[in-house]
Amino acid sequence: MQIQFQQTLCGLVVSFDGGATWEEIYDGMDCLSSQGGQEFIDGLIDSAIQDLIDDGTLQQGGGQPSPEAPPDPGGCQSYHVVLAGNERWKYPGTIRTGDIISISNAHGGWSDGTIHWHCWDGKFYILAQCGNDDAYDAGDPLQAGNHMQLIGGYSESAPTYFNPLTDYTVPAGVTDQEMWLQANDGQLYDNTGEIEFDVEVCRPGWTHYFDFRVCPPGWTAWDFCAGTCTYEQGYVVGCHISNYYLQAQYRAVTLPADCHITRLIQHFTGTPGSQAKYVFVDYPLNTHLYSHNVSTYGDGIVDHGAMDVNRNGVVYVKWGWNSQSNGQCAIIGLTIQGTGTEPTW
């Protein structure tokens, strides 16, 4: 039977039975101990890491991004991360049901505070390469994962941990939770080393924007007063509507069976004041499936809140003003977001 040799972290082993059993024939720890043991090993590693930082091969750790909004439906956000073994990296947005979290281009190594080093997937880091052996620890947050692999977590008060190394889809029941990435280790404080990777967070769905400054086709003037009040109908500048005019526009949209309209946002210039801006989704026309009663103001937007409009057939999207003022504000655009098959606009 063929004699096999294999390198360990600091030694050499041999097998005379095809790999069924192994015998140690050299232990390099004696030599390392004479040089200072674990402290000597850490020094060599730190020196090698610093050399990589100095020549630009490896980026210095840190650089937590500032808070920002999560991606719109149909969009993604990507970040390049250098994560130390004793730290967490915090996603600057929030995640919710259906979001997809992906990791790519991972490399580097870290230690759990012992002489053992691991790659980003938890495999042992041996002689500058990732081995084939898995490691497990009963105290790790993600028991189904390898010890010291990269893991994710969300919901700080009652954490849920997951494996982001295979594309992870956030399950049902998760709404606007903070998410972080870390090593799969029950105590991070004594870890050393760092890994580097790219993380992408994608939100399924679609987003469509109508820019009324350039007159998108398909919109029709709507007389919501039915002739009982005085207002000026039609376009003012381009196609956007000033609050000096009581005006509305509507268009018919055919929704596929699996399409759900989930959010409507009006965009404006100027100061909105207290004038009522409305958005309706109707079926038939002027029979409101959704109205604007939960509007909130942001920076240049009126967000009409979460909704779920699903109808296999024609609906009418209608928007405008229903009170008159001095023209200090103009509605200039409308964002429609949803899931499922996007309608043909």
pLDDT, tens digit, 9 for 90 and up, residues 114-171: 988 999 999 998 777 788 778 889 999 999 999 999 999 999 889 999 999 999 999 9
Asked whether 248 and 320 are in contact (CB, 8 A), the reply is yes
**How far are the Cα atoms of 212, 297, 320 from residue 244, in angstroms, in the given order?**
17, 20, 12
pLDDT, tens digit, 9 for 90 and up, residues 288-310: 777 655 556 666 788 877 888 89
Report the mean per-residue pLDDT for the chain: 80
Window from 87-91, 100-104, 331-335 with minimum mean pLDDT? 331-335
For residue 269, name the pLDDT band (cuts at 50, 70, 90).
confident
- State yes or no: pLDDT of 56 exceeds 60: no
- State yes or no: pLDDT of 36 exceeds 60: no
pLDDT for the residue numbered 231: 43
pLDDT for the residue numbered 230: 45
- Got the DSSP string for 234-259? S-SBTTBEETTS--EEEEEEEE-TT-
- State yes or no: pLDDT of 3 exceeds 80: no
- State yes or no: pLDDT of 75 exceeds 90: yes
pLDDT, tens digit, 9 for 90 and up, residues 202-243: 999 999 999 887 778 888 877 655 555 444 443 344 455 655
16-43 average pLDDT score: 64
Q: Which of 80, 60, 70, 338 is nearest to 179 (CA)?
A: 70
pTM over the 0.75 mark = no
Domains and CATH numbers, the chain: 60-202 (2.60.120.430), 206-339 (2.60.120.260)
Output the CA torsion 46→50→51→53 (10° steps). Answer: 140
Q: Where are the alpha helices (DSSP H) in 124-272?
A: none
- Got the DSSP string for 165-179? TS-EE--TT--SB-E
pLDDT for the residue numbered 229: 47
Q: Considering only residues 67 and 121, tell me which one the structure prediction assigns the higher pLDDT.
A: 121
- State yes or no: pLDDT of 272 exceeds 60: no
Both tokens assigned to 279: 């958005």
Q: Considering only residues 224 and 101, tell me which one the structure prediction assigns the higher pLDDT.
A: 101
